Amino acid sequence: MTTEDFNYDLPEELIAQTPLKERSASKLLIMDKNTGELENKQFTDILDYLIPGDVLVLNNTKVIPARLIGEKEDTHATIELLLLKNIENDTWECLSRPFKRLHIGTKIFFGSGLLVAEVQEKKEDGMVIVNFHYKGIFLNILDTLGEMPLPPYIHEKLEEKDRYQTVYAKNIGSAAAPTAGLHFTEELLNKAKEKGIIIAEVTLHVGLGTFRPVEVSDVKKHVMHSEFYQMTKETADILNQAKKEKRRIIAVGTTSTRTLETIIQKYNEFKECEGNTDIFIYPGYEFKAIDALITNFHLPKSTLVMLVSAFSKKEFILNAYKEAIKKKYRFFSFGDAMFIK
């Protein structure tokens, strides 16, 4: 199985650069995972495909303004850090650029010294461990100095920061949004509840593992970067009861999927827990947790295309993407959605 097997041609104009004015105004491609049969709908039509008793699992992580641009203490060279994971207190794992300019002990100044990062360790692939020095409250300083870490394929400026957050975001810690959830409004979620759909939440702080490109030709040799996850007792109880009663568990997004599959693979049930996951799901994987998936359209050759291909069939997924391109769907983070049922 090669990375090239998950490639497809996408016209650049179909990469969504800005969010739609209305969150739920997106298109929705419905796909039967067993037959590959397709239907073209609007996202608000998702309610027609949800059955009372279904459990909709949302990732309630909240994106921090994790992109910092500063300068080296000595040469004043521009340095960019992307905060990925809070290791402890003020120590963070970051993606740095340019990596070669940094050394252990290097100090990077942000906002004329309002925030200072000192490099503690250099790892591989641009990764560094830094310790931050500041006066005040770190998240307040980050709100002042940081930028929303939009993916590199988005070139337009984001006018409203909140549009790169889900309406249910609350647990701070992500370097990217769980984008399948961006389509939901409070109104749509309330309508789902009124219909008898049960809403459950998990947390996975989205980091490099979710969007890092696959740079090896042999899929099985790709190594995922670990990301923090958490499940409450309330969510575990809801999900275990759903399994017992053979009701559908529907993951909103690949991050929710990876959290649920990580936990059930580890414990053979859902339970209150937290930890770090580097689960890599590709064809051949046997799903134990989820029955259906709401997701966006993903980058060619990405781990996310591999995950959705594992949930259905690669041929069905690539055919669905072909249909989406033909029908001018919008792709990637601010793009349209799929419901794989």
Q: Which helix (H) or strand (E) holds 201?
A: strand 198-204
Greatest mean pLDDT range, 73-87, 196-210, 231-245: 231-245
- Give pLDDT, residue 116: 97
Average pLDDT, the chain: 95
Question: With 70 as the cut, is the pLDDT of residue 209 above it?
Answer: no
pLDDT digits (tens, 9 = 90+) for 311-326: 999 999 999 999 999 9
- Give pLDDT, residue 211: 64
pLDDT digits (tens, 9 = 90+) for 110-167: 998 999 999 999 998 899 999 999 999 999 999 999 998 888 899 898 888 899 999 9
Residue with tokens 């947790």: 289
- Tell me the Ramachandran region of residue 281: left when phi exceeds 0, alpha when psi lies from -120 to 50, beta otherwise: beta
What's the one-letter identity of residue 139? L
pTM of the model: 0.92
* More confident of the two residues 32 and 208: 32
- Give pLDDT, residue 212: 73
Burial class (CB within 10 angstroms; exposed 0-12, middle 13-18, buried 19+) of 69: middle
Instruction: For residue 170, count other CB atoms closer than 10 A to its CB.
Output: 11
Residues of the chain above pLDDT 70, percent: 99
Half-sphere exposure of 170 (CA within 13 A, CB side): 6
Q: What is the mean pLDDT of residues 191-220?
A: 90
Q: What is the mean pLDDT of residues 281-307?
A: 97
DSSP-derived secondary structure for 218-243: BGGG--PPPEEEEE-HHHHHHHHHHH
Residue with tokens 């300068």: 71
Report the DSSP pairing between strands 91-97 and 107-110: unpaired
- Give pLDDT, residue 270: 98
* More confident of the two residues 100 and 341: 341
Q: What is the mean pLDDT of residues 225-241?
A: 96
Instruction: Say if residues 70 and 147 touch (Cβ distance below 8 Å).
Output: no
Best CA proximity match to 202, nearest among 171, 179, 225: 171
Backbone angles phi, psi at 5, to 5 degrees: -60, -20
Strand partners, 40: 29
Stated length of the chain: 341
Best CA proximity match to 338, nearest among 286, 283, 280, 292: 292
Indicate the DSSP class of residue 175: S
- Give pLDDT, residue 210: 67
